[in-house]
């Protein structure tokens, strides 16, 4: 959510067409569903995966009984767990591992995303189980917190889509409150979030539990900050602090303006009292 990432390099619709054509089991079912499968996949891409405009396919329309529809749903879901010999095995593995990301585009945590998330859950939308545009890299913590809900309590789209939503502006910051040796970290949304995205951003941040996880990260990062300030002061270079932090921020923003490291250093650089403390105040012992 916190960053828009490049679209998969393979054509999502070509993959669906090839999957439909190559099925040997349930040949009749795949012949019947293929046109609507391609149509709804194209609608997904055109709408950016918006669940408010996409109606899930009713598999009963392509089968002779409820039992058969349930069984064919399993067949669609199984496409997401291909054998190594199937052509899309390599595509899924590459999408999972070769993204080159060192942060999670969903939450901004500093980690290499190791899983793929179904933006629209495959249990509700089995026809999108293997639609590449519906599969976004994500960290394990996000996947555990996201769950199967894709609509908010108000019936709105709940999550930002990292292939479609342009979220490359500052979303939130931290305020440092209380004793600056061991401050409390206060999470705040930025004021400049465009009105049409504000509810979505807040639902997303709550939906994958970013606030709690980011505050925990700030605790660790703050110790690093104190150590950096201490080291500069020992070398008589405390007046270089802002310059050092600005270089940390610039490097972090190369990943995303909303990766946690960038949010942390931007928040520090925006806190004049804290900068003054780091240069001249009494730092904790044992750094
Ligand atoms: Zn994440």
Q: How many angstroms separate the alpha carbon of residue 114 from the centre of ligand 1?
A: 10
3-state helix, strand, coil split of the chain in percent (to 5) is 50, 10, 40
Here the tokens at position 228 are 């950096």
Instruction: Look at residue 149 in the predicted model and tell me its pLDDT.
Output: 87
Residues with Cβ < 8 Å from 119, sequence gap 6 or more?
49, 134, 135, 136, 150, 159, 161
Q: What is the per-residue pLDDT for 1?
A: 46
pTM of the model: 0.92
Q: Ligand 1 center to residue 280 CA distance, Å?
A: 36
| Ramachandran category for residue 255: left, alpha or beta (phi over 0 → left; psi -120 to 50 → alpha) | alpha
Count of all residues that appear for the chain in the document? 287
Predicted confidence pLDDT, tens digits, the chain (287 residues): 467 888 898 999 999 999 999 999 999 999 999 999 999 999 999 999 999 999 999 999 999 999 999 999 999 999 999 999 999 999 999 999 999 999 999 999 999 999 999 999 999 999 999 999 999 999 999 999 998 889 998 999 999 999 999 888 899 999 999 999 999 999 999 998 988 899 999 999 999 999 999 999 999 999 999 999 999 999 999 999 999 999 999 999 999 999 999 999 999 999 999 999 999 999 999 88
Ligand 1 centre distance from Cα of residue 287 (Å): 30
Query: What's the pLDDT score for residue 2?
Result: 66
Q: How far is the CA of 110 from the centre of ligand 1 (A)?
A: 9
Calpha distance 84→115 (Å, rounded): 18
Instruction: State in Å: Cα 220 to ligand 1 middle.
Output: 17
Distance CA 252, CA 266 (A): 10
Q: How many Å apart are CA 263 and CA 214, to the nearest integer?
A: 10
Q: Report CA(251)–ligand 1 centroid distance (Å).
A: 20
Q: How far is the CA of 42 from the centre of ligand 1 (A)?
A: 27
Cα(211) to centroid of ligand 1, in Å?
12
């Amino acid at each position: 959510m916190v960053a828009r990432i490049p679209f998969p390099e393979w054509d999502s619709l070509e993959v669906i067409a090839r999957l439909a054509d190559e099925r040997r089991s349930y040949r009749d079912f795949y012949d019947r569903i293929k046109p609507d499968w391609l149509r709804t996949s194209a609608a997904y891409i055109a709408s950016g995966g918006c669940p408010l405009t996409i109606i899930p396919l009713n598999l009963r329309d392509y089968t002779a009984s409820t039992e058969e529809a349930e069984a064919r749903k399993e067949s669609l879901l199984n496409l997401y767990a291909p054998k190594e010999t199937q052509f899309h095995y390599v595509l899924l593995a590459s999408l999972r591992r070769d993204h080159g990301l060192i942060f999670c585009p969903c939450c901004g945590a500093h980690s290499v995303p190791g899983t793929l998330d179904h933006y629209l859950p495959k249990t509700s939308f089995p026809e999108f189980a293997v639609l590449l545009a519906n599969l976004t890299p994500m960290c394990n913590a996000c996947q555990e917190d996201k769950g199967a809900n894709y609509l908010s309590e108000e019936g709105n789209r709940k999550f930002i889509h990292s292939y479609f939503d342009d979220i490359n502006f500052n979303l939130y910051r931290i305020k440092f409150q209380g004793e600056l040796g061991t401050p409390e970290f206060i999470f705040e949304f930025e004021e400049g979030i465009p009105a049409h995205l504000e509810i979505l951003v807040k639902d997303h941040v709550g939906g994958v539990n970013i606030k709690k996880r980011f505050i925990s990260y700030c605790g660790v990062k703050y110790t690093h900050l104190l150590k950096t300030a201490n080291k500069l002061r020992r070398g008589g270079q405390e007046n270089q602090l802002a310059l050092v932090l600005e270089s940390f921020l610039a490097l972090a923003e190369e990943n995303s303006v909303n990766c946690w490291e960038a949010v942390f250093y931007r928040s520090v650089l925006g806190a004049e009292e804290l900068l003054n403390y780091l240069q001249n105040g009494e730092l904790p012992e044992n750094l």
